[in-house]
Structure 1
Amino acid sequence: MMAEFVNVGALCLLFTIVSGFDVWNLDQLEQAKKNGEKLITVKDLHVPAGKTLDFQGLNGSTIQFAGRVTFGYQEWRGHLMIFKGAGYTVKGLPGHLIDGEGHRWWDTLGGNGGKLKPGFAYFQLENSYVRDLKFKNAPALGLAINACKNVQIDNLDIDNADGHTKGGHNTDGFDVARCENVKISGCRVNNQDDCLALSSGKNIVFSNNVCIGGHGIAVIGGYDGGIAEDILIKDCKVIKNNIGVRVKTMLNGKGLVKGITFDNIQLQDISEIGIVVIGNYLNSGPRGQPTKGCPIQKLQMTNIYGNVLKNGTKHLVWVADDASNWIWNSKIQGGERLRPCQGIPKGVNIECGK
């Protein structure tokens, strides 16, 4: 049973905003922290190479973006932006853009080699509201949503479309881990990797989002013994991705994937596989026989519809024999290549090869 979400948007508005402070450079941001400012407007700011735009230490504040935010070029490991604390409202004003200019790092390799690439933005928030932000061209990885609690994320635009022709790779939309009571809604992701990659957490909702050009919506089990439980993914569109939706657990991974529901998901022109459920995942691709240790329990695939291209496959299921309590109702057209399935719980009917 999904827990009820706190209306964190209303909660954040309870904080009294007594003054405003405009930030054009990092020194001014540090001054805003010292002053205890509660309304900070970031205007046409350029972050020097190798530095992080760091919004820690601003509990109870509203941070709003106006104009264009850019970052200097350097090969380094880190994040271009960090939001960490409690009671934040983070929002974009009309006409703003947070531009990572990722083409400077792109080399078709992403995190697998080549240039050392920073991640775009890291969020570790409690009782907070993030909305109306526009991100463009992540160097690699998009938004890390990590150890968040009672957070609502609405109407974000993550636009890495340039990466389709300029070498973008591993430009994930949302990477979610160790979160509780988080809702991501009304967002648009155009990228070259997972639209959502959720590896652990409880009571997470991903709804009314549009995913274009990437690797689909994924729940990933078996990282460091993590548990993904009570996850609802609903009312989303997955357009021209190679995969529609998938649940994948790590080869030899330990943990639990339980209570995962995909409901009312429209697939459009998926090139490879509509629905994937596997138990032998590695970052380099599935390998070997699926392993036990991270069972997939109470999985629901309901009203998954749309089309897979002719040479693709509707369903691929390849898990160990510890899966249980699945409900499956898909209405996918096309995908004439049939693949064999393994480990489907008894009583569940899925169209597969033999």
Structure 2
Amino acid sequence: MKGFSFKNETFIVLIACLLWLSASAICNAATTGKHWRYTNKSKQREGLKFDVLDYGAKGDGRSDDTKAFQAAWANVCKAEASTLIVPYGYKFLVGPISFSGSNCHKSITFQLDGTIVAPIDPKAWGASLDQWLEFTNLVGFTIKGKGTIDGRGSNWWTDSIYDFKQVKHTTHLKALMIIGSSKTTVTGITIRNSPLFHLTFDSCDGVLVHDVSISSPGDSPNTDGIHLRTTKNVVIHHTNLACGDDCISIQTGCTNVIIHDVNCGPGHGISIGSLGIDGTTACVSNITVRDIKLHDTMTGVRIKTWQGAKGLVRGVSFSNIQVSQVEVPIMINQYYCDHSICKNSSSAVSIADIVYENIRGTYTVQPLHLSCSDSKPCMDLSLSDIELNPKPNGHQMSKPFCWQAFGELNAPIVPEIDCLQEGRSSKRLGHHYANCAA
């Protein structure tokens, strides 16, 4: 044939192949009774989505939606990278519930765009619970969205018409608790008015919290904002915390924690402890707290331990802290006790290698309070670039106080701190390091 070439032959073969593939797809669709469609494999990897409304949730704020959440979670667990959806525009009443990840695939997302509210009927809580929304044993788990978790805690904080005596013996009930999980992220959500603790991580490895809002009244008791226990490799940033207790509390077993760009107030400040209750061993290390704003709080940055305890707090840095109307901006208390009667003991958690740098603003009671143990003095404290000025607020002002506190001062220091001692080093604490080795 005139003008025919190899290129033309290749083109014809290509067209024939495409027609054959199309015919095969159409025939296959005809035999299976389904419509043929292109499958986007990249979209498949995003996982399946499960909306709690499809499992019977009403979302009217009155009907109990606990079972619907449980049913949706059961299916979410079956597929990797799947998502449980709590949709915007609905209010879901959910009782105490545990979302177990023991049989779940990895990378599950809890997409919270609506509102979850706690029951106000004490019968819904039972008699021995210490959590409301609990997530356990998950890998690559994420809670995100623009929604709200509302603990409606006012009935717990004050005497009311509801009989909460049957559950009030639970001293640290947690609104949102994540246990034994790794690579966990919480972002975007609001948690408010928790009965007690708002957000708790226990025995976790790899935690990221950012752009979260936590709030409850300043006079609400034991409403810690974020509570860390036996948890490592943590980053918390760009989060607003207002509560009736510690904005962030760091407990025993925590290491490699970074907290930055956080607003705290009202509340009790950023605290390590309390540590070592009932003579236990407490170990905390490698904690960085920087670029923090504290307003109208009881303390600023604090370490608090019980007498009679053992262990060690070391490698802590507090820097670039801005305080406004804070009662006591810098505090160490190795005699902590929240009981009316406390026993004296010579044993204590050792505290060493603590840095305070660039801490500025106003106080209403005392600029600095370092109350360390006679038997286990605080060692290697470093204070530099401190400027704390009094702001009269109806309280009696006190001068800086130090007891058995050893370290160094680097100017400028305002007000003058003449109570810090020199001469003792934490190099002698080798046996304490060994007791707290990972």
Gap regions ≥5 residues in structure 1: 1-12
Alignment of 1:253-268 (within 5 A): 253-268=309-324
What is the one-letter code of the residue matched to 1:266? Answer: Q
User: CA distance change for structure 1 residues 290 and 264 in 2, over 3 Å: closer, same or farther?
Assistant: farther
Q: Which residue of 2 aligns with 1:10?
A: none
What is the one-letter code of the residue matched to 1:78? Answer: D
Q: Deviations over 1:28-60 (max 9, x none)?
A: 333333322511102335345xx3233322442
Q: Does 1:342 align with 2:398?
A: no
Distance in 2, matches of 1:14 and 1:22, equals 18
User: CA distance change for structure 1 residues 241 and 53 in 2, over 3 Å: closer, same or farther?
Assistant: same
Q: Which residue of 2 aligns with 1:54?
A: 98
Say how many residue pairs are matched: 328
Report if the CA contact (8 A) 2:192-2:198 is conserved: no
Offset, 1:184 = 0.9
Structure holding more strand per residue: 1
Q: Which residue of 1 aligns with 2:48?
A: 19
Q: Which residue of 2 aligns with 1:214?
A: 267
Q: Does 1:196 align with 2:248?
A: yes
Question: Tell me, what secondary structure is at the counterpart of 1:208?
Answer: strand
Q: Which residue of 2 aligns with 1:238?
A: 294
Offset, 1:259 = 0.3
User: CA distance change for structure 1 residues 347 and 122 in 2, over 3 Å: closer, same or farther?
Assistant: same
Q: Which residue of 2 aligns with 1:277?
A: 332
Q: Does 1:139 align with 2:164?
A: no
Distance in 1, matches of 2:166 and 2:329, equals 31
Offset, 1:67 = 1.6
Distance in 1, matches of 2:43 and 2:272, equals 34
Distance in 2, matches of 1:243 and 1:115, equals 30
Q: Which of these two proteins has the greater Rg computed from alpha carbons?
A: 2
Question: Tell me, what secondary structure is at the counterpart of 2:331?
Answer: strand
TM-score under structure 2 normalisation?
0.69
Distance in 2, matches of 1:196 and 1:294, equals 20
Offset, 1:19 = 1.7
What is the one-letter code of the residue matched to 1:41? Answer: I
Structure 1 range deviating more: 237-246 or 51-60: 51-60
Offset, 1:325 = 1.5
Offset, 1:287 = 5.6
| CA RMSD, 1 decimal | 2.8
Percent identity among equivalent residues? 22
Question: Tell me, what secondary structure is at the counterpart of 1:105?
Answer: helix
Alignment of 1:1-354 (within 5 A): 16-23=45-52, 24=57, 25-35=65-75, 36-37=78-79, 38-43=82-87, 44=90, 46-48=92-94, 51-57=95-101, 58=104, 59-75=106-122, 76=125, 77-84=129-136, 85-93=138-146, 96-107=147-158, 116=168, 118-124=173-179, 125-160=181-216, 163-164=217-218, 168-200=220-252, 201-220=254-273, 221-223=275-277, 224-270=280-326, 272-284=327-339, 291-309=346-364, 312-320=365-373, 321-329=376-384, 330-334=386-390, 336-338=397-399, 340-348=401-409, 351=417
Structure holding more helix per residue: 2
Question: Tell me, what secondary structure is at the counterpart of 1:313?
Answer: coil
What is the one-letter code of the residue matched to 2:113? Answer: A
Question: Tell me, what secondary structure is at the counterpart of 2:290?
Answer: strand
